[in-house]
Amino acid sequence: MKAADFELAQRCRQGDAAAFDELYRSHAGRLYNLVYRMAGAQHEAEDLLQEVFLQAHRKLGSFKGESSLGTWLYRLAVNHCLDFLRGRQARMARSSDSLDAEGASEPAAASPAVPTAISRLDLERAIARLPDGCRAAFILHDVEGFEHNEVAKLLGVSEGTSKSQVHKARMKLRAMLSGAEAASVGAGARRPGGYTR
């Protein structure tokens, strides 16, 4: 652990506002990137970021310095996102089909279906429409760049589950970004996480 991390955590624990400001400036960007795409909507991302830093404020006393402060915060954020997604899934399960049913892979198109130039906006919207379960694995692997074994640890699943979730997400994105569905992605008609087959 870096001595600077330990010192910063110590100052935060002592109620030093400038230290917490420094903590925020150093790590908010990376954490917001994660929570924004996990939540799929800006207002929820802002709430999540606030909750993550509140949790950090409460739990800094348990920071033992076994990892860097950035890693510690990132894990806190991942766990918080997963709790958020589980809660949302539970709420939505009551009013819709399972968002993440096994075997829910998309029908394979016989020819390339995704336009070579995908607009970033369309892709962001499509990611936001992914089912919550596979979105988490997809974001951690494809967007955040973790290996499957790392994703598996973060999500508390097997490496095989991580692979299948990422694959499922990719195939759903493929279907959403193909010509037939691209228009509806662009319209953004459904709320994040509300995609059903």
Partner 1 sequence: MTCLDLELDIGDYVDGTLDASSVARVESHVRHCRSCQAIVHDLRTLRGATRSLEPQIPPAHVWPRIAAAIEADARQRSIRRLFSFGPISLQPALSTAAMVIVLAGGVWVSWRSVATGDRVSVTTSRTASDAVAALVPVDEQMQDAEQHYTRVIASLEQIAKTERTTLDTPVAAVVDQNLAVLDQAIGESRDALQKEPSSELAQQSLFEALRSKVALLQDTIALINEMRKGNQEGAARIVSDMNQ
* Spatial distance between the Cα atoms of 132 and 38, rounded to a whole number of angstroms: 8
Both tokens of residue 14? 């002592």
- Buried b / exposed e over 176-187, threshold 16 CB at 10 Å, is bbbeebbeebee
The residue from 37, 80, 88, 129 that contacts partner 1 (CB under 8 A) is: 37
CB of 180 to partner 1, least distance (A): 13
Please state, in angstroms and rounded to a whole number, the distance separating the CA atoms of residues 82 and 180: 31
User: CB atoms < 10 A from the CB of 28, how many?
Assistant: 15
- Which residue in 4, 7, 21, 93 binds partner 1 (CB under 8 A)? 21
In the complex, the smallest distance separating the C-beta of residue 187 from partner 1, rounded to whole angstroms, is 19
103 binds partner 1 (CB under 8 A): no
Question: Which residues 156-175 are close enough to bind partner 1 by CB under 8 A?
Answer: 160, 163-164, 166-167, 170-171, 173-174
Q: Interface with partner 1 includes 44 (CB under 8 A)?
A: no
Nearest CA to 86 out of 100, 72, 105, 104 is that of 100
Q: What binding mask, one character per residue, do residues 135-154 give for partner 1 by CB under 8 A, x or -?
A: -------xx-----------
Site for partner 1 in 62-101 (CB under 8 A): none
Nearer to partner 1, 63 or 92 (CB): 63
Q: Which of 36, 72, 74, 84 binds partner 1 (CB under 8 A)?
A: 36
Per DSSP, the residues of 59-100 read HGGG--SSS-HHHHHHHHHHHHHHHHHHHHHHHHHTTSS-TT
For partner 1, how many residues bind (rule: CB under 8 A)? Answer: 50
Q: How far is the CB of 91 from partner 1 (least distance, A)?
A: 20
Q: What does the alpha-carbon distance between residue 15 and residue 63 come to, in Å, rounded to a whole number? A: 15
Q: For partner 1, which residue of 1, 104, 118, 157 counts as binding (CB under 8 A)?
A: 118
Distance of closest approach, residue 95 Cβ to partner 1, in angstroms: 27
Q: What are phi and psi of 64, to 5 degrees?
A: -95, -5
179 touches partner 1 by CB under 8 A: no
